[in-house]
Structure 1
């Protein structure tokens, strides 16, 4: 049983960490695909709502406009850290000796 479990997890690890695979690119593609499918599902559910007053119609319009707007690009933490103009650790002041 131990050998069977080991072979299973080694196969899974090889499939996930195979040579030539860009993890960051594939994760970004998967994330954008999930967001697109999710917003499409929400838009379908909102369109299915039957409205009989002006407030409901306005609410549907606002939500559908918010779903169609593009989301800002998400930057990884490594890229955001480089934007800091102050070097860490900060240099000692001259008066400290």
Structure 2
């Protein structure tokens, strides 16, 4: 009987701990948007572009690489969609970590 009581007590304690952790984590505030808005990356002309310039817009970020054939194939579609939706509050941003002459 003592063993059963110990197992039951341990089980209840584990469940209570898990519930407490879940409640604490679910109430954590979201990361500060100011950190993200402070991010800036160089464009193909070497000029820094701050993410904050698109505040209030839907920003579609495309991470791509020159060695990725599907990435290169979809690029004209992203450019065309930017032309079509750019005036409607949508901004497409392509990010590639490659040599500049391969990206442009």
TM tier relative to shorter chain: under 0.3
The structure with higher relative contact order (CA 8 Å, sep 6+) is 2
**TM-score normalised to the size of structure 2?**
0.26
**TM-score normalised to the size of structure 1?**
0.28
